[in-house]
Structure 1
Amino acid sequence: MNTNEIVSKLWNLCNVLRDDGITYHQYVTELTYVLFLKMLDETETDGQVPEEYRWKSLTSKIGMELYSHYRTLLNDLGNKGTGLVGSIYANASTNITTPANLEKIIKSIDALDWYSARHEGLGDLYEGLLEKNANEKKSGAGQYFTPRPLINVMVKLLDPQLGEKCNDPAAGTFGFMIAAAQHVKENNNSYFGLEPRVVDFQLEEAFSGCELVPETHRLALMNTMLHGLKSQILLGDSLSSIGQQMSNVDVILTNPPFGTKKGGERPTRDDLLFTTSNKQLNFLQHIYRALSPKSGKARAAVVLPDNVLFQDGDGQRIRTDLMDKCNLHTILRLPTGIFYAAGVKTNVLFFDLGKELSNNTKDVWIYDLRTNMDSFGKRSMLNEGHFDGFVTAYKAKDRLNVQDERWNVFTREQIKAMSDNLDLGLIADDSLNSYEDLPDPIESAEESIVKLEQAISLLNEVVRELNVAKGGQV
């Protein structure tokens, strides 16, 4: 039995819980509570859990006795557990209301082919479950799942090295950092022959992050453990003072949450030059401020929506500051449909911390992977092959000689003349020349709704700022 088959079997157990009214996300959380104990049992590392709460305590009970024991287990491990155990079960409670359903899940998990799962990688199995959850959960509430092919391409292009500190200030389930850790390990012979202190650094300090949502933080900790890492993942908001702890980083890979702060709130930290209710603009500031000037090659790749490229006011000032302090050398215009909120248009910004005090951006290269592309979704999945043209252009020693209509360059002077608007580089849309190939009306309507919501949000921000300027009520 391979990993995909085990993932399918585990995912199908969710059907058992439908009568309990449990959502997919609640199911993944519930499964994490149970799988954590099973994984410790399989890896013979369950000494960190009191004996009365180990995996065998679940398989030796049935019915109401099992259900009562499970609830006690969650409560005690959450309140008395220490270290990773305490973090995994913090504020844990069950959404299962039928003892027979809990019993079936535990028996089904115990009966799976765990020898094969260990051989293929327990971390890959768990990530498969997280991806299933993302595919089913369409209403992201601002939390967008980053497709694995995109993560892999971003990691390969930034090419994190042994000894570098990598960070994701919007960690989610820690997918970027796990991919970065695997990249470094594969490029260094699985750390074979390295000094213990070097290996310890890679496992404990090289990869870090911060996640705001407690439930997602729990999943990130589980994901990290199953990939053999002991990374620090802070629980909190990177736009608060906790974010100031994440500094002097060599590599940042991230997909910050989209949207605006509720009620127009601004960051509570005091070290950002420009503060706005637009979360992704604040995250962008955090990212280029957190890069370390010591190594001389600090770099970042960040997924951001289109409005970051063209928003006026603070948006323009932040883009100007970014291009002044950093070398914003490449922008990838991503295709639509790869995220689970309809109509969201996104980009990846690649930049290096500048070596000069100012004026570090000279040219911005833009690759249009959006226009005249297939519509991606559940039926047409994105894969790494779709990025081949971009990767070739990105890595070219002489970018001017790349023969690709999607690849364009704009000088800093040209961008300044356009008020530092970076909404550039899109090629001619062939579909506009054919009445037979008009956009899907539903997708067009959804996209219009998203744009209207963004416009309303920006107008609300302007009104709030005017009120503040006049000394009025926010």
Structure 2
Amino acid sequence: MNPTVSSRPGYDQALVARLWNYANVLRDNGISGLELIDQLSSLIVLKRAHEQRQRPLNGQDILGFDAWAQLTSTERDHLIPAYERILGLLAARPGTLGLLFRRAQNRIPDAALLHRLIVDVVDGYQWSSAGIGDVFEALLARMSTDAKTGAGQYFTPRPLIEAIVQCVQPGINDTVADPACGTGGFLIKAFDYLVDHFPSGVTEAQRKRLDQGAFFGVELVDATARLATTNLVLHGVTRADETPPCITVGDALARPPGRRASLVLTTPPFGRSSTSEETYREDFWTLTTNRQLNFLQHVHSLLETDGRAAVVVPDSVLFEGGPGELIRRRLLAACDVHTLLRLPTGIFYARGLKASVLFFDKPEPRPDGSPSTTRLWVYDLRSSHTATAKPTAQSGPDYSDFVSAYRPGRPHSERVETPRFRSFTVDDLLARHAINLDLQVAEPPPGPFALEEPEADLHRMAQEITAELGAALAEFASLAEALRPYGVHADGPDREAER
């Protein structure tokens, strides 16, 4: 970890453009943008290890052999078996290195294309240089727009993550966790914030903890876990030879957390459970098939006492009845649910998806048994006439006014109400039908807590169902892409393969 860095370097846009242009070549051969990034992540790690091995001072032998030299010196006709042998060898390694190559496969069946990617593209750049992590992030951002693969479900918009991190202010003593880490955006931005605000007088024990164990996450999908781990390595959050890895592959909801965190930042996967089975855990408040509600319960159990969290949720979590009502009631009681950010539509991969960010802390239970929540502040960035700026393709919505209104590091009592930022007492919240937290600030109904008209409520529910179906289809598309055999194009079978 380098505490002297004070700002994020700009990334090499020409390199990003060249790498993504190569995706067009591969796409003509039935290889998706997601598969290109997957291949790049493996090759970048190998090239980076070669660079570290060749350093004249403080050289490191990460792999135990020079895999990159083997690849670049192998004749083209023998390149594919040599590459696949290296992938299999490294996948058997322990720790982070094994995770970087866990179930990795060669997705480029044409030796000439693979040789071109290795020699003409990857080999020409220094992957240990400053800012290379931002290049990888830019590639992931482009990948997230590929609707055919459903890759966007693993990518939370980085401007939103940065705004959330600015609000929660990760500190030197924090343990930061993301139980649905996707490509690692929350962990990286929390690390960047900490580096940029690194305090003086840090002890050696604190430095060691930051290097080993201060950041950890869970990811369900192997390929995505590889991308996240590569991303963390390139950003300096972890090392390729670190043991154990900071990312765990598996279902975060399967069992109670083995360790806890003081700061949890996450965007749980949207959509219903594909098995329609209720998740049973003794530490959960209730059973439900709704994954977002289960993740909300999981985040509560993952938090240390006095920990804090920010969770991106679809709006259905705010108003769904049955188990949803009970979970919201218990959350208001057990945690200080102090801030809700209503996000604009259109910033996620599923069109029309309405989502919000819940900020809450987990204090000690009150001696009198009263709810830990006293007042919920709601900021509306969704209504057109309250948005601070129109979103752009590059930057997305402007979150600066929300961050200012949040007043990071200041008592909530110092907040000031505005037309887009209002507060509601916990008694008002508990009095609402089904503990409905879908609170509209900019366009309040005639009464402060009047229910919507039935037609409007049904329309909203229909929109949420449509968004969940879109999310489910994206997940199936991503799975189909990952299981697609070699020689089969994304839009149909390869004629040569049929012969």
TM-score over 0.5 (shorter chain)? yes
The 3 A distance-change label for structure 1 pair 144 and 427 is farther
Question: CA separation in 2, counterparts of 1:131 and 1:401?
Answer: 34
Q: Does 1:305 align with 2:314?
A: yes
**Residue number in structure 2 paired with 1:143:** 153
Q: Does 1:168 align with 2:183?
A: no
Q: Is the 8 A contact 1:209 1:232 kept in 2?
A: yes
**Residue number in structure 1 paired with 2:436:** 421
**Residue number in structure 2 paired with 1:283:** 295
Q: Is the 8 A contact 1:204 1:229 kept in 2?
A: no
Q: Is the 8 A contact 2:339 2:360 kept in 1?
A: yes
> Which is further off, 10-19 or 447-456?
447-456
Tell me by how many angstroms 1:196 deviates.
3.1
Q: Does 1:43 align with 2:56?
A: no
Question: CA separation in 1, counterparts of 2:297 and 2:361?
Answer: 13
Q: Is the 8 A contact 1:11 1:129 kept in 2?
A: yes
Q: Secondary structure at the match of 2:356?
A: strand
Question: CA separation in 1, counterparts of 2:20 and 2:151?
Answer: 22
Question: CA separation in 2, counterparts of 1:228 and 1:12?
Answer: 27
The 3 A distance-change label for structure 1 pair 250 and 138 is farther
Q: Is the 8 A contact 1:122 1:226 kept in 2?
A: yes
Residue 286 of structure 1 aligns with an amino acid whose one-letter code is H
Query: Which structure 2 residues correspond to residues 5-24 of structure 1 after superposition, within 5 A?
Result: 5-24=14-33
Residue 3 of structure 1 aligns with an amino acid whose one-letter code is D
The 3 A distance-change label for structure 1 pair 454 and 375 is farther
Q: Does 1:106 align with 2:127?
A: no
Residue 157 of structure 1 aligns with an amino acid whose one-letter code is C
Question: CA separation in 1, counterparts of 2:372 and 2:146?
Answer: 43
Note the alpha carbon deviations across 1:77-106, whole angstroms, 9 max, x for none: 22x433322222222221211111001101
**Residue number in structure 2 paired with 1:229:** 237
> Which is further off, 320-329 or 1-10?
1-10
Please identify runs of 4+ aligned residues in structure 1 that moved more than 6 A.
Answer: 374-378
**Residue number in structure 2 paired with 1:471:** none
Tell me by how many angstroms 1:232 deviates.
1.7
Unpaired stretches in structure 2, ≥5 consecutive residues: 1-9, 54-58, 239-244, 445-458, 472-499
Question: CA separation in 2, counterparts of 1:446 and 1:125?
Answer: 39
Residue 237 of structure 1 aligns with an amino acid whose one-letter code is D
**Residue number in structure 1 paired with 2:258:** 245
Q: Secondary structure at the match of 2:439?
A: coil
Question: CA separation in 2, counterparts of 1:303 and 1:324?
Answer: 20
The 3 A distance-change label for structure 1 pair 400 and 417 is farther
> Which is further off, 100-109 or 276-285?
100-109
Question: What is the Cα-based RMSD across aligned positions, in Å?
Answer: 2.8
The 3 A distance-change label for structure 1 pair 380 and 336 is farther
**Residue number in structure 1 paired with 2:69:** 56
**Residue number in structure 1 paired with 2:451:** none
**Residue number in structure 2 paired with 1:76:** 89
Question: CA separation in 2, counterparts of 1:127 and 1:298?
Answer: 28
Question: CA separation in 2, counterparts of 1:113 and 1:310?
Answer: 50
Question: CA separation in 2, counterparts of 1:14 and 1:150?
Answer: 27
The 3 A distance-change label for structure 1 pair 105 and 376 is farther
Q: Is the 8 A contact 2:103 2:222 kept in 1?
A: no
The 3 A distance-change label for structure 1 pair 101 and 175 is same
> Which is further off, 301-310 or 175-184?
175-184
Q: Is the 8 A contact 2:166 2:403 kept in 1?
A: no
Question: CA separation in 1, counterparts of 2:357 and 2:230?
Answer: 28
Question: CA separation in 2, counterparts of 1:406 and 1:301?
Answer: 20
Unpaired stretches in structure 1, ≥5 consecutive residues: 430-444, 458-474
The 3 A distance-change label for structure 1 pair 232 and 268 is farther
Higher relative contact order (CA 8 A, sep 6+): 2
Note the alpha carbon deviations across 1:206-225, whole angstroms, 9 max, x for none: 11111111111111111122
> Which is further off, 36-45 or 330-339?
36-45
Note the alpha carbon deviations across 1:3-40, whole angstroms, 9 max, x for none: 22212211222123224311111111111111110111
Question: CA separation in 2, counterparts of 1:453 and 1:207?
Answer: 31
Question: CA separation in 2, counterparts of 1:240 and 1:127?
Answer: 29
Q: Is the 8 A contact 1:3 1:120 kept in 2?
A: no
Q: Between the two proteins, what is the percent identity of the paired residues?
A: 35
Q: Is the 8 A contact 2:315 2:438 kept in 1?
A: yes
Residue 93 of structure 1 aligns with an amino acid whose one-letter code is Q
Question: CA separation in 1, counterparts of 2:144 and 2:461?
Answer: 21
Tell me by how many angstroms 1:67 deviates.
2.2
Tell me by how many angstroms 1:450 deviates.
4.6
Question: CA separation in 1, counterparts of 2:40 and 2:280?
Answer: 35
Query: Which structure 2 residues correspond to residues 193-204 of structure 1 after superposition, within 5 A?
Result: 194-204=202-212
Q: Does 1:350 align with 2:359?
A: yes
Q: Secondary structure at the match of 1:292?
A: strand
**Residue number in structure 2 paired with 1:132:** 142
Note the alpha carbon deviations across 1:399-434, whole angstroms, 9 max, x for none: 6773521111111111122131101134239xxxxx
Q: Is the 8 A contact 2:315 2:464 kept in 1?
A: no
Residue 311 of structure 1 aligns with an amino acid whose one-letter code is E
Question: CA separation in 2, counterparts of 1:287 and 1:85?
Answer: 28
The 3 A distance-change label for structure 1 pair 70 and 282 is same
Q: Secondary structure at the match of 1:172?
A: coil
**25, 28, 35: which is aligned to 1:26?**
35
> Which is further off, 92-101 or 135-144?
135-144
**Residue number in structure 2 paired with 1:157:** 167
Q: Is the 8 A contact 2:353 2:467 kept in 1?
A: no
The 3 A distance-change label for structure 1 pair 307 and 141 is farther
The 3 A distance-change label for structure 1 pair 446 and 111 is farther
Question: CA separation in 2, counterparts of 1:46 and 1:16?
Answer: 35
Tell me by how many angstroms 1:454 deviates.
5.4
Q: Does 1:269 align with 2:281?
A: yes
**Residue number in structure 2 paired with 1:433:** none
**Residue number in structure 2 paired with 1:339:** 348
Q: Does 1:406 align with 2:417?
A: no
Q: Is the 8 A contact 1:364 1:412 kept in 2?
A: yes
**219, 226, 250: which is aligned to 1:218?**
226
The 3 A distance-change label for structure 1 pair 282 and 446 is closer
**309, 326, 339: which is aligned to 1:317?**
326
